[in-house]
Amino acid sequence: MATTEPAEKIRGGQPSIPETEPQQKRERLPLGPLQNIHVFWLAGMSCDGCSIAVTGATNPGIEGLLLGIVPAMPKMLLHHPVLSVEAGAEFVQPFRDAVEGRLEDPYVVVFEGSVADERIAQRTGGYFSAMGMEAVSGEADHGEVKHPVPTATWLHRMAPGAAATIAIGTCATWGGVPSAEGNPTGSMSVMDALGKDYRSAFGLPVINVPGCAPIGDNFTDTVFAVLLFLQGLGPLPAFDELGRPAWLFSNTVHQGCTRAGFYEEGTFAENYGDPECLVEIGCWGPVVNCNIVQRGAINHMGGCMQAGGVCIGCTMPGFPDKFAPFYKTPPGAIVSTGLSRGVGSVVRRLRRMSNREANRETRWDALNEVPTGWGHPGSRTMMDRTIHYFYERWQQMGSRRPGRRPGEEERFWGVDRPGVQGDYLDDSVTRDVTDRNKHAGGH
């Protein structure tokens, strides 16, 4: 009796692929060394922002993948409605070949934009998003006629035979703006369109790389990891329960935000452009899974909070409805910021005291003077000395104190210490060194 591969082995310990998967699909993992792989890019209800974002990717860059110069990677043969040189029937033909199984190399489907419910448009004989034309049988007196092929139809035709289906951008991953409440198109995500039981030809559910627009490097990073798996050079990368790359979307914006320290200390921006935490002027960062702050928008630079903007939750399945109205303080922030202010006011003062202490050399403490010409740091007050005394004892509890025992440490200053002569090198030492040099020179 034939046995199947353990789901954990295929999924790298992630949520398992259902055991009902056909045996032939499991036996085809992975593909082995590839020279070429086709990437068919379908655009639904989109603004093309995802395509633009990918062109800005640098690690790896899309150019390296297209040229086949990235080590261990096959050459990507990209069929993109905007970037391809071919047009018309010549452009559409490889899509037909993929559907009919005439390609020599495997292919990946990338879908940008949400998937419209074309049944709504067909009521009036129209369509929402289409690519190419195909002949259909008309009435006898009209003969053969051609109609546009909706991209939703291409998706349903091509996804079953694809090595992987990747939804790029929030419109494709969760429905996004076109699927917002009140929309007339019935738009939905790729995952909603294909259903929870969908698996690619190699047993993979839909892979989701959200963002409006997504970080280009997040997409190429994911493609790189999946291709390594298909090449047989690595395990299937870890994805969360929604099909997002776990290594990219496990943490929240707030956890990696450069402004998070202000939140902890209870200081918040009142106006756009202020350097403090932006939660009180509409930032949803504490509850949004995204790595925009750590990775940056393009070439590891920029990003919402880096540029002074708030997080509006564009990578999340609930976007935009659950985050509207934008730029309004989230209800949860009223509670959390109030608590943060209470605790942060104490923490902030304690940290300022520790910061002042850390900005002093130990010799400055002993001499109670700072030899700077740039300003007047001031002397330590009795309160500072008392607090630091107990703080230092607590800090060094169970450890040996640096330096010699109290009273045995020698303190030297520079020769210009005010009011003190010979504190660094007294005259006797200077004369002794000079005499020895003269004596050595005489011989």
CA neighbours within 13 Å on the CB side: how many for 71?
0
- Reported pTM: 0.77
Task: Round to whole Å and give the CA distance between 170 and 67.
Answer: 28
Task: Round to whole Å and give the CA distance between 257 and 275.
Answer: 12
| Both structure tokens of 171 | 């419109």
Helices (H), 28-87: 49-55, 62-67
Residue 133 makes CB contacts below 8 A (sequence gap 6+) with 146, 147, 148, 149
* Short-list 150, 126, 148, 124, CA closest to 135: 148
For residue 234, the 8-state DSSP code is S
Domains, the chain, in order of start with CATH, read 14-247 (3.40.50.700), 251-359 (4.10.480.10)
Encode the chain (443 residues) as per-residue pLDDT tens digits.
Answer: 333 343 333 333 333 444 444 554 444 455 668 889 999 999 999 999 999 999 999 988 888 888 888 888 899 999 999 988 899 999 999 999 999 999 999 999 999 999 999 999 999 999 999 999 988 765 445 556 788 999 999 999 999 999 999 999 999 999 999 999 999 999 999 999 999 999 999 899 999 999 999 999 999 999 999 998 988 888 889 999 999 999 999 999 999 999 999 988 899 999 999 999 999 999 999 999 999 999 999 888 888 998 899 999 999 999 999 999 999 888 888 888 888 888 888 888 888 888 888 888 877 877 777 888 888 887 778 888 888 888 888 888 888 877 777 666 665 655 555 554 544 444 444 444 445 555 555 55
DSSP per residue, 157-184 = HHGGG-SEEEEESHHHHH-TGGGSTT-S
